[in-house]
Amino acid sequence: MRASNARKKVSLDPADRRKQILRAAIDVFAERGFHKTRISDIAKRAKVAYGLIYHYFDSKEHVLASVFEENWAVFVKVLKDISVDGHKGSAEKLGAVSDLLIGALRHEPALIQVIIQEISRSDRIGLAGKVDAFEEAFKIVRAIIHEGQKKGELARDLDAQVGTYLFFGALETVCTGFMLKKFTVKNEAEAEALKKSVRRALLDGMRERP
């Protein structure tokens, strides 16, 4: 009664097709933000019919949630590994976290952008529980800070909670600036320089040391 028509696309492996859609979603979310991207934008980018997205995902929200779920766990895992690494001091650990984020940013800028910009604000989107999952990363960093303060490696006159926010906030905006091409990283050397710059600022501040 209803449909009819047009050139069908060759069927891919479902898992690949799913990835393809997720990839497109990440890119478009990063570019336009969750609210402004239409399902049809994702479809267009993925070069599939918009209806197909509903084969793989329940809703637009679910697409975003999947982006998060299928990437966040990996990140948190590495974060955890860093946090329990016996060979590193607390400052070193924070540096490693910073490096990790900036490294990820270089390889998956859009993904990091989406996770940071959209999921962390997902209370406004209606992704219950996602903010909590986000909280995990905060906890780990907070724990590193706490530990460092106890050991005397990190400044005691800094509230750990505030410190955690500062830490992530600083990194987040670097992400944003990076996405907006306010500064670029053209090669490995520049990437290392950026990492060092950020580490330096976070750990030792902007003031020149005597």
Partner DNA sequence: AATGAATGAGAGTTCATTCAT
Partner DNA sequence: GATGAATGAACTCTCATTCAT
Q: List residues near DNA by CB under 7 A.
A: 1-12, 14, 17, 36-40, 48-52, 54-55, 58-61
| Rounded least distance, CB 53 to its own copies, Å | 14
Minimum distance, C-beta of residue 100 to its own copies, in the bound complex (Å): 16
Residue of 9, 12, 14, 36 that binds its own copies (CB under 8 A):
36
Q: Which is nearer to its own copies, 20 or 176 (CB)?
A: 176
| Tokens 């020149």 found at | 208
Question: Which of 20, 80, 145, 188 is close enough to bind its own copies by CB under 8 A?
Answer: 145
Q: Is 128 in the site for its own copies (CB under 8 A)?
A: no
For residue 12, give the DSSP letter: P
Residue 187's binding partner out of DNA, its own copies, none, with CB under 5 to 8 Å set by partner kind: none
Q: Of 19 and 176, which has the nearer Cβ to its own copies?
A: 176
Residue 152 falls in which region: left (phi positive, over 0), alpha (psi -120 to 50) or beta: left
Here the contacts of 80-85 (C-beta below 8 Å, separation 24 or greater) are: 80/140, 83/140, 83/141, 83/143, 83/144
The amino acid sitting at 161 is Q
Report the partner that residue 74 touches, choosing among DNA, its own copies, none (CB closer than 5 to 8 A by kind): none
d(CA 80, CA 59): 31
Q: If we measure between CA atoms, which residue out of 148, 111, 152, 150 comes closest to residue 23?
A: 111
Cα–Cα distance between 152 and 148 in angstroms, integer?
Answer: 6
Interacting residues toward its own copies by CB under 8 A: 1, 32-33, 35-36, 59-61, 91, 94, 117, 120-121, 123-126, 145, 148-149, 152-159, 161-163, 165-174, 176-177, 180, 182-183, 193-194, 196-198, 200-209
